[in-house]
Amino acid sequence: MNVYDRAYELAQALQGSLEAKQVMEARAAADRDPDARRMLADFQRRQLELQQRMMGGEEPSAEELDGLGKLYELLSLNPLVQDYFEAEKRLGVVYEDVNRIIGSSMQSVLLP
């Protein structure tokens, strides 16, 4: 068994999952609405900037985190954006579950 082949199979399974398809469909629906597309792009840009700063060792202020949370709540009032956020959360749960399964299976190898 080639581990890398299995990893690629897992990646394809994730890409072909119902949850991934729902994210793509929700994003396509949001992209068809100019306001939803603009709001979602702006939110994701801000989110990415904050994540990059955090990876660089910078701690975001409480105001920045609060502002992003409030923006998320505001954007969630748009049904198209809300559908996208919900689909993204469902895919995130699947991704976290897979990571947890892989991580827990390696504990017996790494921790005698």
Q: pTM for the full model?
A: 0.86
Q: Is the pLDDT of residue 99 over 90?
A: yes
Q: 26 and 79 in contact (C-beta within 8 Å)?
A: no
3-98 CATH: 1.20.1500.10
Sequence-distant (6+) residues with CB within 8 A of 88 are: 23, 26
Where along the chain do its domains lie? 3-98
pLDDT of residue 109: 86
For residue 57, what pLDDT band results from cuts at 50, 70 and 90? Answer: very high
